[in-house]
């Protein structure tokens, strides 16, 4: 699937380049206060990876 199609289907995901943790927009991270369906752009810039503690700037769009 292309990135464009993933975005159209609401299936965008972002991966931490340090530890490999994946943030899926459709899943969110409710335990961190990020509701399912929250677009990556709406996640706070100071949010930290729950696995390794790096910031949002260390995530890249996962191309499926």
pTM of this structure:
0.80
Q: What is the pLDDT of residue 63?
A: 75
CA distances from 29 to 6, 10, 43 (A): 19, 15, 10
Strand boundaries in 1-64, DSSP class E: 13-16, 22-24, 59-61
Q: What is the pLDDT of residue 2?
A: 45
Q: What is the pLDDT of residue 3?
A: 46
Q: What is the pLDDT of residue 64?
A: 64
Where the chain has pLDDT below 50, the residues are 1-8
């Amino acid at each position: 699937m292309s990135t464009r199609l993933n975005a159209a289907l609401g299936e965008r995901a972002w991966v931490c380049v340090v530890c490999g943790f994946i943030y899926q927009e459709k899943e969110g991270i409710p335990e961190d206060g990020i509701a399912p369906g929250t677009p990556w752009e709406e996640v706070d810039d100071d949010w930290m990876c729950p696995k390794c503690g790096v910031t949002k700037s260390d995530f890249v769009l996962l191309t499926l």
